[in-house]
């Protein structure tokens, strides 16, 4: 188990938008004794309702979304993508479903908890969150038809995203 230290949000030295776009994040959720994670390149960091938050977008067919719907907490885990095993981990989290197998165990990563929030111990930066909103996106809520055509046609026709807003409880780095 790695040792994670609290990390003040105002000391963040990297651009979370660039990190999400280029490397992605693993969203980890736990419910009913099951833990799963998915990789995502969609989201952001912001401020709403007097709280520092992250925005995570998960497709409705993702098993992690089902767990997150049942859970109060989740984490956003960032990895050092210079390490080959982390590149492989993010691919597995994206391509395999945790419904059918324990993909975290298959990748030989450990899930730990801080404040009852699950996270992947192999990450080097984690954001622990409490879910404060879940907003389903639909054909009617996406106003730009080009986005609908590009993101929700063919294989994703009925697989819209849900936007989760998570209050940042703690940021940790190792």
Contact 152, 159 (CB under 8 A): yes
Closest CA to 174 of 112, 115, 116, 84: 112
Distance separating the N- and C-terminal Cα atoms of the chain = 11
How many other CB atoms sit within 10 Å of the CB of residue 158?
Answer: 9
Distant-in-sequence, close-in-space partners of 150: CB < 8 Å, separation ≥ 6: none
Strands 111-114 and 43-48: unpaired
Beta bridge partners of 35: 30
Contact 13, 173 (CB under 8 A): no
Residue 123 tokens, joined: 């990450």
CATH of the domain spanning 5-173: 2.30.110.10
Scan for tokens 């280029």, then name that residue.
22
Task: List strand residue ranges (DSSP E) for the chain, in order.
Answer: 5-6, 25-31, 34-40, 43-48, 51-59, 73-78, 111-114, 117-120, 125-136, 161-173
Distant-in-sequence, close-in-space partners of 159: CB < 8 Å, separation ≥ 6: 59, 60, 61, 152
Looking at the chain, the number of H-run helices and the number of E-run strands are 5, 10
Domain boundaries in the chain? 5-173
Per-residue pLDDT of the chain (174 residues; tens, 9 = 90+): 778 888 887 777 777 788 888 889 999 999 999 999 999 999 999 999 999 999 999 999 999 999 999 999 999 999 988 888 899 999 999 988 889 889 998 889 999 999 999 999 999 999 999 999 999 999 899 999 999 888 887 766 678 999 999 999 999 998
């Amino acid at each position: 188990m790695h040792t994670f230290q609290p990390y003040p949000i105002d000391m963040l030295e990297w651009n979370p938008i660039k990190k999400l776009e280029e490397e992605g994040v693993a969203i980890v959720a736990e419910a009913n004794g099951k833990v799963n994670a998915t990789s995502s390149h969609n989201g952001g960091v912001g401020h709403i309702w007097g709280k520092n938050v992250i925005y995570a977008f998960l497709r409705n067919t993702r098993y992690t979304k089902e767990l997150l719907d049942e859970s109060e907490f989740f984490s956003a885990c960032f990895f050092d993508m210079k390490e080959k095993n982390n590149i492989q981990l993010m691919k597995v989290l994206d391509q395999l479903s945790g419904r059918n197998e324990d993909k975290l165990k298959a990748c030989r990563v450990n899930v730990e908890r801080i404040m009852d929030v699950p996270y992947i111990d192999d990450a080097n930066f984690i954001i622990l969150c409490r879910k404060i909103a879940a907003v389903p996106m639909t054909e009617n809520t996406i106003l730009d038809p080009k986005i609908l055509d590009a993101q929700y046609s063919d294989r994703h026709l009925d697989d819209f995203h849900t936007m989760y807003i998570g209050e940042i409880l703690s940021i940790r780095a190792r």
